Amino acid sequence: PAFGPDSAESWLTAVCCGFLLLLSFSAMSVSGVFFYGIVETFGAARESASWPVTINCSLVLLAGPVMGFLSNRYSCRKVLHVCAFISGPAVGLCFFAKSIPYIAVLFGVIHGIALSGLYVGANVLVAQHFEKRRTTACSVMFTIGGLSAIVFPALAEVSYATYGIHGAFLIYGATLLNAVPFVVLLKSPPWLDAPKHKRVPVLDSSSPCNADDEFSGRECDQDVVTKAGVDLESRSAQDCKENTTKVSTDGGLGESHASRALLKDRLRINVTTRDIKHAVKPFLTCAFWLDAMSFSAVTMGMVMFVSTSTDYAIDQGISSADAIFLLHAYCVCDILIRPLTGVAVDSKLLSLESTMLLGFLFQGVAFEMLAWFRALHGILIASALMGATCGSRIALQAPALVKNFGMEKLPTMIGAMSWCMGVVLLLRPPIVGYFRDTLGSYSGLMHAAAGCNAVFVVIWAAKLVQKRTRCWQKGGRNRTPQESKC
C-alpha cells in the first residue's frame, strides 16, 4: 500500500530516519579527530580537551528522558525539526571558538542534546509507522546509521588536515544541516492522531455523585463519558456540578457548596496521584529493567571493544598497522547482520527473546576468544563475531519496548532506557583503567565481560522458557493463530 502502516510512505520514513541516525551517531565517529585537534590547536592538557567530546557523547544518551517527554508531549516530528535546525549551527559556531569552554557548551551540551532528540525521535517515529515489519524497518534504519563509522572519520580527518580544527568544525556543522531535508519529508502517522474515546458506565441523574463512593468505580471525574461514547471533557464539569448539588439534603445550599468544593479538591488529588502512579509504574517493572540492562550491556560491549581494540591488539604483539583490521572486521559484520536480524524476527524465524539469548551467548564466546587468542587470525574471527552479536541486537530496542509496554508509552520508555545506557557507559573509564592500568592486562576485562554475558544468557533463557511454557499451557484448541507460533 502507498499509505498506512507498513506502506511505501512508512519505508520512506525508515530511510529518512536512518540518515538522521547516521548524523546522530557521527559525534562518536569524529570524537577522536576533534579530541586530537583540540589538544594540538589550543595546547591544552588531554583531560581538559576531552571534556567537549565526553559531554557530547554522554548527553546523546543521558538527555533521552527529556527528549522522550517532549516527543510524547509535542510529537516526534516537532522534536526532530527543532533538533535538526539546532545541531548544525551549534557545531558551526565553534569556528569562532577561542577557548575550550566555548566548544564544550556549543559542541558538547547543545549539539549533544540535539543529537539525543534525533536519536529518540527517529526510533519512535519508525516504530509508529510499522506494525508487521517493525523490526525489519528498525534494522534498516540502524544499518544506514551504522555507516557513520565509515563516512565521518575520513571526513573529519581530511577537514582537520586541510583547514585545521576550526575549519573541521565548520564543515562538520554544514554536513549536519543535511538533516533538515530529511525531517521535512517526515510525517506523523495519522492513524495515531485519531481521538481515542473512553467508554465507561454513565452516571445517571438518579445516582448522585456522593463523596463516599467517589473511589468506588462510580466517581464523577474526567474519565466519565456520555451514553453516546463521546469524551466527557465538554460535559463532565456540568454533569458533576448537577450531581454534586445533591450531596446533602439536610445542610442546605451552603453545605452543598462546601461539599462540592471538598469533592472537587479530593477528586483533583485522586487524579494527580493516580496519574503519577500510572506514569511511574512501567519503570518499576522487571520487563523494563531487563530491557534497559540488556541493551546497556550490548552498548557497553560495543563501545568497550571499539575503544580498546587497537590497544588490546598491540598488547598481544600485533602491529598498529594490522590492528586496524580488527575494527574493519567488526564494522563489516555489524552492518551486514543488522537487516538480516530484522527480517528473521519479523518472519518468525527467531523471536526477540531467542535473538537476545543467542546474542549474549555468542558475545560471551567472543570475549573469551579475545582473552585466550594471541594470533591475528584468531583475534580477527573474534572481532567479526563481536560485530555480528552487537549488530544483531542493537536495532531491537524499540520493538522490544513496544512489545512490552505498547506504542503509547514508547517515547518515554525509550528515553528512560537511553538514560540507563548513558549511565552504564560512564562506568567504562574506571573499569578499563582498573583492569589495564592496575592489573596490567585486558584478559581480566574480557573474562569479566564474558561472565556478565553469561548472566544475561541465563536470564533470557528463563524468559524464553517461561514464554514457551505459557504458550503450551494454552492447549492446541484454545490457541489463537498468533499463539500457535510461539
pLDDT digits (tens, 9 = 90+) for 404-413: 998 888 999 9
∠ CA 197-201-204, rounded to 5° = 120
- How much is the average pLDDT of 42-50? 81
- How much is the average pLDDT of 59-77? 90
Question: What's the pLDDT band for 221 if we cut at 50, 70, 90?
Answer: very low
347 pLDDT higher than 70: yes
The pTM for the full model equals: 0.75
- How much is the average pLDDT of 265-270? 48
CB 79 within 8 A of CB 70: yes
Question: What's the pLDDT band for 181 if we cut at 50, 70, 90?
Answer: very high
Q: Which of 31-45, 223-237, 379-393 has the lowest mean pLDDT?
A: 223-237
Please identify, in words, the CATH class of the domain defined by 285-486.
Answer: mainly alpha
pLDDT of 276 reads 72
Q: Give domain limits for the chain.
A: 1-195, 196-280, 285-486
In 265-282, which positions are buried (b, 16+ CB within 10 angstroms) versus exposed (e)?
A: eebeeeeeeeeeeeeeeb
244 pLDDT higher than 90: no
Question: What's the pLDDT band for 416 if we cut at 50, 70, 90?
Answer: very high
Category of 201 on φ-ψ map: left (φ > 0), alpha (ψ -120 to 50) or beta: beta
| Percent of residues, the chain, with pLDDT higher than 70 | 80
Of the two residues 477 and 135, the one the predictor is more confident about is: 135
Q: How far apart are CA 60 and CA 114, in angstroms?
A: 8
pLDDT digits (tens, 9 = 90+) for 206-220: 444 443 443 333 334
Considering the domain delimited by 1-195, tell me its CATH architecture. Up-down Bundle (1.20)
pLDDT of 478 reads 53
Residue 400, number of CB atoms within 10 A of its CB: 24
Going from the C-alpha of 472 to that of each of 15, 281, 352, 459, the distances in angstroms are 39, 29, 18, 20
203 pLDDT higher than 50: no
∠ CA 44-48-50, rounded to 5° = 110
CB-based contacts of 327, cutoff 8 Å, min separation 6: 306, 309, 310, 383
pLDDT of 232 reads 37
Q: What letter represents residue 330's amino acid?
A: Y
